[in-house]
């Protein structure tokens, strides 16, 4: 009439519990009573949790570094813009182009710094974090 259920893990003890995740019938030795999961599901749950914690930690770490680099580049860009007169005077003395106005040099220097900064940030995000953004 009544068939006694054996534990699906050890096949020896009487199954008194059912795992709420996978539905296996398990004995008292193979159940986690705090979570009502069999020991196999508990191991999988812990592995997923550790992986998720590592991913969140990496995202936070690379996010902070990226924000710091963007701030440094922005400060550098502002410094370049505020000191372009000095840089333009230096470059205009080096380059033999006497008829080019100073504002052309300022535009060239600003764009050059901007594009070098963007390329640097792209390489940083691509090679340090292992993910491509460009």
The parent domain of residue 117 ranges over 52-129
| 42 class by beta-carbon count within 10 Å (0-12 exposed, 13-18 middle, 19+ buried) | middle
Q: What is the pLDDT of residue 133?
A: 46
Within a domain: residue 62? yes
**pLDDT of 31-82, one tens digit each?**
888 888 888 888 888 777 766 666 666 777 777 777 887 788 777 777 766 6
Within a domain: residue 11? no
Within a domain: residue 84? yes
| 74 class by beta-carbon count within 10 Å (0-12 exposed, 13-18 middle, 19+ buried) | exposed
Rounded to a whole number, what is the distance in angstroms from the first to the last CA of the chain?
68
Whether the model clears a pTM of 0.85, i.e. scores above it, the answer is no
Within a domain: residue 31? no
Within a domain: residue 116? yes
108: left (phi over 0), alpha (psi -120 to 50) or beta: alpha
The mean pLDDT value for 14-20 works out to 87
Within a domain: residue 71? yes
Q: What is the pLDDT of residue 50?
A: 66
Percentage of the chain lying above the pLDDT 70 cut: 69
Within a domain: residue 96? yes
Q: How far is CA 38 from CA 23, 70, 123, in A?
A: 9, 48, 46
Q: What is the band of 14 on the pLDDT scale with cuts at 50, 70, 90?
A: confident
Within a domain: residue 7? no
Structurally, the chain folds into a number of domains equal to 1
């Amino acid at each position: 009439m009544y068939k006694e259920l054996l534990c699906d893990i050890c096949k020896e003890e009487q199954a008194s519990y059912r795992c709420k995740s996978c539905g296996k019938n398990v004995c008292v030795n193979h159940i986690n009573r705090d979570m009502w999961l069999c020991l196999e599901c508990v191991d999988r749950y812990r592995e997923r949790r550790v992986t998720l914690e590592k991913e969140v930690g990496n995202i936070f770490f690379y996010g902070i570094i990226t924000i710091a680099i963007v701030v440094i580049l922005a400060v550098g860009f502002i410094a370049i813009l505020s000191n372009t007169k000095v840089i333009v005077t230096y470059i205009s003395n080096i380059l033999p182009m006497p008829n080019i106005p100073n504002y052309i040099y300022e535009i060239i220097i600003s764009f050059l710094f901007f594009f070098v900064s963007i390329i640097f940030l792209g390489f940083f995000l691509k090679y340090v974090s292992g993910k491509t953004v460009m």
